Every structure is written in C-alpha cells, then in structure tokens.
C-alpha cells in the first residue's frame, strides 16, 4: 500500500542530493559499487569454502584457505595509508582493484589448493589496498557535512550481500560449481571502477608529503600478519603445535601491532587512540557474536543452518539502520557521543545474547538483541570514520585510515582466533564436550571485548563547542 507521503519522497531525495557536486556523487556511486561486490565475495566465500576444499581434496587446509585473505589484507592496509598520503590514492586504488581481480581469477582457475591459497593472498592484498584510498578520496573530495552519508552508504552496501549472498552462492555452487563465483566478481569490480577513473585522472600526484619508510612498514606488516595467521592456525591444531603457534603468534602481535597503531591505543588515551580502540574492540565483539550465534542456535537449540542465519541477517540489518541514523546527526557534540552510545548499546545486547547458551532461554529475545547489537555497531563504526577524518589533516588521512583498518582487521581476527583456542582447551575439561557449557568461553570473551569498548569510548573527547 502507498502512503500520502510517497509522492513527496522523490522530491525530498532530490533536495538532499542537490547540495552534492558531481564529483561527490561519482565517488559515492563508484565506492558503493566496489564495496558491494567485495562484500558479496566475502559472504559467498564463507558460504562455499567447505565445497572448495572438498573439491580440491584439501579439507585439512580449510582454516588456512579461509584466513589467508584476512592475513594479506592486514599487511596491505599497513602500507596503503602511507602510500596514499605519499603518492596520492590513485596508484594505490588501481593496484588494489587489479590485485583483487587477479587473485579471484587465480582462485577460479586453481587446479590445486596451493594455487587457490596464493590467489586468496593476492585477493586479500587487493582488498586492503582498495578500502584505504576510498577513505582518502572521501577526505579529499567530499565536504565534511557529507562524510556521514558516505560511511552510512558503505554500511548499507553490505545489506544486499548479507541478505541474499549466502543463498545465491549456494544456488550457483549447486548448479554450476564454486568456480564461477570467483570468476565473475573480478569483472564486476572492474566495471565498478569506471566511475572512479574520471575522478582519479583529475587528481594531481602528491608532492608535499615525505616518502614513507616502506621497507620498515612492510616488514612490520608481514610480522603482524604472520602473528595473526599463526594464532588463527593454532585454533585448528592440538597438542604442542597449538601451544607453540599460539605463543609465537601472540608474541609477534604484542611486539609489532603497537608500532602500527597510534601511540596510546592500548591504554585508551583520549582522542584518536581511544576512538580507534573503541571501534576495533566493538567490531571484534560483533565478529565473535556473528560466529557464535549460528553455532549455538544449531548445537544448543536445534535450528538448521538456514534458520540460524536469521540472527546474522538481523544483525546486518541493524548495523545498516544504525549507520543511517548516524548520518542524520549534525550536531558535533552529539556526534562525538555516538561512539559511547553505540558501544553501550552493543555491550548490553551482547550480554543478552550470551545467555543463548541456556537451552531454556527465549530465542526471540536473543534475535531482537542481535538486531540492536548490530544497530549499536552501526552507530559507532561509521561515526568513528567520520570523526577520525575530521580530526586529522588531509595529508594524514591515509595514515589514520590505515589505523582504522588495522585495528578492525587485527581485533576481529584475534577475537576469533583466541576464542577458537580457548574453546579447544575448554572442552578438554571433564563434562564439557557436547554440552551447552562448552560455549561459555565464547560468551565470556565476546562480552569482555564489548565492555572494554565501552570503557574506551569514555575517552573519546567531546569538542568544547558546537
């Protein structure tokens, strides 16, 4: 049914975009298209990875094949920011989209698991080199008042892939196999790049920024990526191998990550450090919850995979709603309070979700909480991007964008890896394996990260005046 206000909607939308110049609209269209195809690839790959390793007769390589792109992306975002500040976003973005396409094509044609993993590594490098220059382009070309809309659109770009990606990927795999999913996305990404080529060609190269220490940054990035990868791999092992790889991975992360992130981040220092820490911790908690919810719904409450995916869908929709709400906040003081509001909302909902390990807990309550949990992250995540760009000079937008992406990637990867390791040790205790109590560590770690995010958000400074 139509409402009396439907006729006014197009005019309102037209008035809204009337304040945008052609460059901003072109950037919005191209960036959202790129992120949409990247999101679909990420969702589809998660869905079909069991089919991939089974077809390549490499079931034991599942964790490596799944985590390779994540590790490579962490390495890429370290160098993408300084490179964008030094040479401008154009060469970094073109290299990123090119590598993303080449990596996916390598996966599509892979005759062996080793070729597939190499393709995943190249694809991950491309993804990391793509997202950071998009942030830099927003800072350089878009008016500050339009920044919230850009980041809300980035969140909305995940809605369609999250809602329909798993089902579509499953249908394609069933009818045609998994390879077409890796073979089609590269061409779609290249088409999405076309609107951005006009903007990129008009941008002069940077010349007033000192060359970054690429050799040092690359070595640190490789060590950090290796640390995260070792912790991920340890979760799939047992015995002394689990212990050795866990200790090695954690040691590398502790030694290297502080050098790649702003000083004071691990102590929640006021300003940018606390802001980036809040976003990383909150996203880590959400990532853990998104992995935790379907598992508990199936193992404890007897739902099938299709039913259990409803929790993830509701979380994604909630995120998009939260991101849309933050885009409508114009008062600076209110915007600076959104990270705390979002972190608190997410933490409260995650506490509710954690009770899902109880067989008698009402499922509908947890599902509602999962939607509001995503809403809190939507308020926080996009707002953090806006505030971070607004608080830094345009010549340092690449660096701060890298910080945001490093924190997101490393925190989420470590959340999943540490949870996997702790769960593996926990179920060795008498009476734990095969019972709802086996998932207690996952609940505790998720809530712990969410509460840390709330404490960190308290140090996001509010500007002294409107």
Residues 328, 414: one domain?
Answer: yes
Q: Tell me, what's the pLDDT at 226?
A: 86
**Is residue 169 classed as helix, strand or coil in its secondary structure?**
helix
Looking at the domain assignment, is residue 10 inside a domain? no
Region 105-118: mean pLDDT is 92
Q: What is the mean pLDDT of residues 185-205?
A: 82
Q: How far is C-alpha 315 from the geometric centre of its chain's CA atoms?
A: 14
pLDDT one-digit tens code per residue, 356-397: 999 999 999 999 999 999 999 999 988 898 888 888 877 777
209 inside domain:
no
- Cα 123 from chain centroid (whole Å): 15
Residues 286 and 229 in one domain: no
Q: Where on the phi/psi map is residue 434: left (φ > 0), alpha (ψ -120 to 50), or beta?
A: left
Residues 387 and 306 occupy one common structural domain: yes
Mean of the per-residue pLDDT values for the chain? 83
256 and 284 housed in the same domain: no
Domain that holds residue 244: 223-260
pLDDT of residue 4 exceeding 50? no
Same domain, 198 and 70: yes
pLDDT higher than threshold 70 for residue 88? yes
**Could you tell me the pLDDT band of residue 331, with boundaries at 50, 70 and 90?**
confident
List the structure tokens of 253.
Answer: 């992360």
Q: Decide which of 260, 275, 306 is a domain's last residue.
A: 260
For 43-52, 343-352, 404-413, which range has the lowest pLDDT when averaged over its residues? Answer: 43-52
Instruction: Specify the pLDDT at position 462.
Output: 65
Q: How many domains does the chain have?
A: 3
Instruction: Answer whether residue 402 is part of any domain.
Output: yes
User: At 442, which CATH number?
Assistant: 1.20.1250.20
Min mean pLDDT across 58-67, 107-116, 260-269, 379-388 is at 58-67
CA–CA distance, 377 with 375 (Å, rounded to integer): 5
Q: Do 49 and 80 lie in a common domain?
A: yes
Nearest alpha carbon to residue 196 among 138, 146, 155? 138
For residues 175 and 37, state if they share a domain.
yes
Do residues 231 and 345 both lie within one domain?
Answer: no
Kindly state whether residue 18 falls inside one of the protein's structural domains: no
Residues 6+ apart with CB under 8 A from 283: 377, 381, 408, 411, 412
Crossing angle (nearest 10°) for helices 332-354 and 440-457: 160
- The verdict on 283 and 356 lying in the same domain is yes
Bigger pLDDT: 17 vs 29: 29
**Mean pLDDT of the region 193-208:** 74
Dump the DSSP string for 79-99: HHHHHHHHH-HHHHHHHHHHH
Verify that 307 and 250 share a domain, yes or no: no
**pTM metric for this prediction:** 0.78
Is residue 198 a part of any domain in this protein?
A: yes
**Same domain membership, residue 53 and residue 152:** yes
Mean of the pLDDT values across residues 263-272? 91
Residue with tokens 């195809």, as numbered in its chain: 37
Q: Is residue 3 part of a domain?
A: no
Flag whether 213 is in a domain: no
pLDDT at 51: 82
Would you say residue 290 lies in a domain? Answer: yes
* Per-residue pLDDT at 8: 40
Q: What is the pLDDT of residues 426-436, one digit of tens each?
A: 877 887 777 88
Q: Are residues 196 and 234 in the same domain?
A: no
- Highest mean pLDDT of the ranges 34-48, 210-224, 245-259, 352-366: 352-366
């Amino acid at each position: 049914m139509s409402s009396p206000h439907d006729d006014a909607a197009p005019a309102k939308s037209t008035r809204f975009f009337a304040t945008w110049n052609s460059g901003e609209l072109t950037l919005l269209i191209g960036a959202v298209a790129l992120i949409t195809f990247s999101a679909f690839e990420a969702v589809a790959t998660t869905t079909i990875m069991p089919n991939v390793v089974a077809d390549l007769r490499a079931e034991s390589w599942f964790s490596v094949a799944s985590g390779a792109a994540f590790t490579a992306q962490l390495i890429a975002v370290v160098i993408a920011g300084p490179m964008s500040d030094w040479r401008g976003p154009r060469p970094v973005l073109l290299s990123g989209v090119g590598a993303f396409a080449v990596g996916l094509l390598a996966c599509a044609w892979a005759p062996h698991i080793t070729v597939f993993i190499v393709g995943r590594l190249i694809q991950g490098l491309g993804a990391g080199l793509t997202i950071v220059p998009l942030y830099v382009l927003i800072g350089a070309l878009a008016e500050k008042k339009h920044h919230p809309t850009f980041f809300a659109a980035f969140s909305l770009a995940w809605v369609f892939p999250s809602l329909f990606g798993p089902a579509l990927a499953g249908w394609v795999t069933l009818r045609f196999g998994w390879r077409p999913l890796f073979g089609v996305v590269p061409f779609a990404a290249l088409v999405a790049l076309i609107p951005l080529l006009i903007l990129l060609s008009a941008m002069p190269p940077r010349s007033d920024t000192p060359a970054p220490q690429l050799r040092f940054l690359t070595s640190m990035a490789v060590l950090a990526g290796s640390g995260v990868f070792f912790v991920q791999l340890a979760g799939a092992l047992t015995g002394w191998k689990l212990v050795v790889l866990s200790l090695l991975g954690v040691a590398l992360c502790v030694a290297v990550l502080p050098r790649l992130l702003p000083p004071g981040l691990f102590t929640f220092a006021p300003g940018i450090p606390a802001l980036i820490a809040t976003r990383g911790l909150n996203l880590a908690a959400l990532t853990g919850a998104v992995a935790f919810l379907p598992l508990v719904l199936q193992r404890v409450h007897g739902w099938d995979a299709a039913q259990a995916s409803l929790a993830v869908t509701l979380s994604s929709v909630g995120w998009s709603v939260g991101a849309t709400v933050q885009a409508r906040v114009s008062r600076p003081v209110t915007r600076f309070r959104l990270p705390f509001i979002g972190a608190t909302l997410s933490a409260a909902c995650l506490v509710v979700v954690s009770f899902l390990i109880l067989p008698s807990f009402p499922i509908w309550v947890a599902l509602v909480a999962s939607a509001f949990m995503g809403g809190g992250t939507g308020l926080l995540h996009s707002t953090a991007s806006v505030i971070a760009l607004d608080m830094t000079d345009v010549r340092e937008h690449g660096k701060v964008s890298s910080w945001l992406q490093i924190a997101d990637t490393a925190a989420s990867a470590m959340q999943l890896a540490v949870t996997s390791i702790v769960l593996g040790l926990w179920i060795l205790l008498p009476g734990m394996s095969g019972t709802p109590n086996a998932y207690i560590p996952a609940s505790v770690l998720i809530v712990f990260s969410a509460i840390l995010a709330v404490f960190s958000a308290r140090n996001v400074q509010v500007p002294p005046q409107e």
